[in-house]
Structure 1
Amino acid sequence: MNPSAEDVPTDRTAGPTTPDGPLAGLADIEAWKARKKYPSTLFAGGPVFGSAHERPDGGWELHPYVAGLAPQDARDALAAHLRGASRAAFDRGEDEAAAQYLAAAERLDREPLDELTVRGRRFRVIRAERFIRMGPDGPEPPRGTDPDDARGRGGNGDPRAGQDPAAGLVIHPADTGHAAAAGVLRVELLTALRQKGTVPREVREDSRTAARSHPGGVLLPATFMAAEREGGRWRPHSTGTAATPGDARDGLALHLRVMVPWQQDLSAAEHETYKRAADRLDEEQCDELDVAGRHFRIVRVERLIRVGPDGPEGPRPSDPDPVPPPLAPAAQRVDDDDPTPPEPDARTRKFMALFEEEHRRRTHSRRCAGPPRRGATPSRHGRRSGRSAAARR
């Protein structure tokens, strides 16, 4: 018997993942403009992984978040998802269903499974490739139509921050998309192949195999990351991506306040320069930032899931998967005879102090902000993304 929809709760009620009405047309126009201004499409690091379940009425529904950097990250998230389903079933008095979901989660704790069936429904680890658009001035920043619930919150912890706009998206094997520009981009990404010599041979061979087994594709809502220009080249600040531009700005602000002073052993005056830059980033919610001769940009990252007759593509044999499941024999460690952790050294204590300072600052900001005022969040179309914050001081 197929479980009811309540058996497999999502983290939030999923709304449309693409704009409706006039905004949909505007998003399509922006996509066409992006193809002209940022004509090159490049791979943005390695793939990301998430999970989905097959729906009784057809298609596969995505779980938050398609952001794991290895298949095991998605298996761990799927195990947590199944434990949530188990608790929901238990609260409804459905003890047998609760036990089955819990048993599946515990199996994932021990085995590196990419698909399993629970109560007649298939669950699968899925794979998405990441891309960025590049132009003469560098990588593409967020577009005016990209949802950004966090804009204007100034690091004050809007409860909507971090929500995945792809959560709840239903993928059908026959999905081809709607917007013309999105369709062109999807064709570009489906035919993309890493250049010979840039990746191991097995990676290229797996790409060719995927093109045959999963010839279709679905574009997910974009994600975002911070990047820095160094000597005419751009490099990302992390291998992961954020759900919204605001979340990527928060990550960059944390980098400026904590990681830079810790890694570079800045003086108090130098640290203050970076803190002021992070404050500007919070206040102005800009997508470009200059500080201490360095230039940062919030970058837009596309995600594409390949789709075949049996649904979305799972992990490939060549995808790195270095960490075993938490309770697998390979993950077991012999306990040290002395359980007392060592005292942190001076460098570690400095990092802990910087991190605690940032935690206190954010906690204070949230308390002072109070509930958001109606209409207080600025429109995405009103933001000033073309100029750096330093240029506007």
Structure 2
Amino acid sequence: MSEHGDQVPGYRMIRMEALPDAPAAALADVEAWQARKAYPNVLGGGGPVFGVAEELETGGWQIISLFSSSYPQGSRDTLAMTFRERARDAGDAGDTAAQQEWQRNAERLDWEALNELTVLGRRFRIVRGDQFIRMGPTGPEPPRPSDPDPAKVGHGHEYRGRTKGFVIDPFTPTGMSEGILRMELLSLVQAPGTAPSAVRKDSLRAVETHPGGVLLPAEFTAAEFSDGHWAPRQMTNASPQGSRDTLTTYLRVMAPVMEKLDDETRAEYGRLADRIDDERCDEIVIDGCRTRIVRVERLVRVGPDGPESPRPSDPDPELPTAVQEEQLREEGVFDEYRVLNEEETEQRRVAEEQAKEFLRLFEEQRRRREAAEEA
């Protein structure tokens, strides 16, 4: 099935097919349809996210990184690291020419903010994705029963998710519910007055330049209801347990130090973290505010030349690593003989004390979880 019949380009097609031979996929499609009723509104889920993709000879673009950078530069740094890894592999294989080519392009990324490179005939691109959350009368949509959640408590970071290795190819068949959601999301643009003019202009342009799209595997975050609205309080994770673990780490480790909690509040936060661990619950009240593990949909727009790159209006405040290092050296940050002033000395002392406390609380949490697993 497609928007305008069978003669439209592949990147504009949305092929919806029943999935009778895939029970898990069929169940996920049913849950997605049910979510349309319980959480009928689709809202922006924060700013864009970025990842790295490599064009495949067989068609489509394969994601070769985690798709979680808030700014394009984070993905450029990941691409430079990928090139260095391939340079090492080429060197181990005795291919000196390939090793030098990979290394040369890695060093180029250290100095230049590039969103696409071709190396040894292979195309690589920094890819942009939009985030969305379903909202209903009770708030944002929590994880669905069919969402993978295999990690044990405290081991959410070990589940790397389904995004790395995912192929961005609009021609791949999808279930009915996902296909309808793709059509809904592809039609969304920034409404007048909801974003700066440059952001809205880029949003409108993307509908023309990249009219197709693909949904990435969903991710998860913790959102807090405060001052009459829901807002995310952490980066996304590949699984609900990853978000629960991030939340309990905040309660046991980060908040006591960063917020300078008193002993009573520390104890209360610890009890909340214990409850999250024991019940693997997806909603809890912290300081009178509802906090919920929320499902985040992510859409990559696709045009005739592949997935969308960063837009001109996307925040991109970070510098390439070599440029940043050069600036810091000019400012004397790396001068080991520079005498710190009184304010800098105090800042360093406070930072060292915080680091020691973080390490102590991390170790305390690790021992607690190891004891729970043994029990």
| Bin for the TM-score computed over the shorter chain | 0.7 to 0.9
Q: Contact 2:156–2:242 (CA<8 Å) still a contact in 1? A: no
1:313 aligns with 2:308: yes
1:192-271 residue pairs with structure 2 within 5 A? 192-238=188-234, 240-271=235-266
Deviations 1:242-268 (A, max 9, x none): 111111111111221233333443211
Q: Contact 1:228–1:236 (CA<8 Å) still a contact in 2? A: yes
Q: Structure 1 residues 196, 316: CA separation in 2 closer, same or farther (over 3 Å shift)?
A: same
* AA partner of residue 127 (structure 2): I
2:108 is paired with a residue of what secondary structure? helix
d(CA) in 2 for partners of 1:210, 1:141:
29
d(CA) in 1 for partners of 2:253, 2:20:
36
Deviation at 1:102, TM superposition (A): 1.3
Q: Structure 1 residues 84, 300: CA separation in 2 closer, same or farther (over 3 Å shift)?
A: same
- Look up the match of 1:274: 269
Q: Structure 1 residues 339, 85: CA separation in 2 closer, same or farther (over 3 Å shift)?
A: farther
1:332 is paired with a residue of what secondary structure? helix
1:168 aligns with 2:169: no
Deviates more, 1:119-128 or 1:190-199: 190-199
* AA partner of residue 360 (structure 2): E
Q: Contact 1:131–1:301 (CA<8 Å) still a contact in 2? A: yes
Is there any run of 5+ residues in structure 1 with no aligned partner, and where? 1-17, 372-393
2:163 is paired with a residue of what secondary structure? coil
Is there any run of 5+ residues in structure 2 with no aligned partner, and where? 1-18
Q: Structure 1 residues 159, 50: CA separation in 2 closer, same or farther (over 3 Å shift)?
A: closer
1:73 aligns with 2:71: no
Deviates more, 1:36-45 or 1:339-348: 339-348
Deviates more, 1:66-75 or 1:53-62: 53-62
Deviation at 1:176, TM superposition (A): 5.8
More helix as a share of residues? 2
* AA partner of residue 357 (structure 1): R
Deviations 1:48-74 (A, max 9, x none): 000111112222110121111111111
d(CA) in 1 for partners of 2:55, 2:122:
6
d(CA) in 2 for partners of 1:19, 1:326:
49
Deviates more, 1:38-47 or 1:175-184: 175-184
- Look up the match of 2:87: 86
Q: Contact 1:257–1:354 (CA<8 Å) still a contact in 2? A: no
Deviation at 1:175, TM superposition (A): 2.6
Deviates more, 1:264-273 or 1:297-306: 264-273
After the TM superposition, list the runs of 4 or more consecutive aligned residues in structure 1 that deviate by more than 6 angstroms.
none
Q: Structure 1 residues 198, 176: CA separation in 2 closer, same or farther (over 3 Å shift)?
A: farther
Q: Contact 1:324–1:330 (CA<8 Å) still a contact in 2? A: no
Percent of pairs with identical residues: 46
Deviation at 1:349, TM superposition (A): 5.3
Deviates more, 1:134-143 or 1:332-341: 332-341
- Look up the match of 2:355: 352
Q: Contact 1:19–1:27 (CA<8 Å) still a contact in 2? A: no
Q: Structure 1 residues 159, 132: CA separation in 2 closer, same or farther (over 3 Å shift)?
A: closer
2:321 is paired with a residue of what secondary structure? coil
Count of residues in Structure 1 that have an aligned counterpart in Structure 2: 349
Deviation at 1:194, TM superposition (A): 1.6
1:78-227 residue pairs with structure 2 within 5 A? 78-150=79-151, 153-155=152-154, 157=155, 160-161=158-159, 163-172=160-169, 174-175=170-171, 177-227=173-223
1:41 is paired with a residue of what secondary structure? strand
After superposition, the CA RMSD in angstroms is 2.5
Q: Contact 2:156–2:241 (CA<8 Å) still a contact in 1? A: no
Question: Which of the residues 297, 306, 321 maps onto 2:292?
Answer: 297
Deviation at 1:29, TM superposition (A): 0.6
Q: Contact 2:212–2:301 (CA<8 Å) still a contact in 1? A: yes
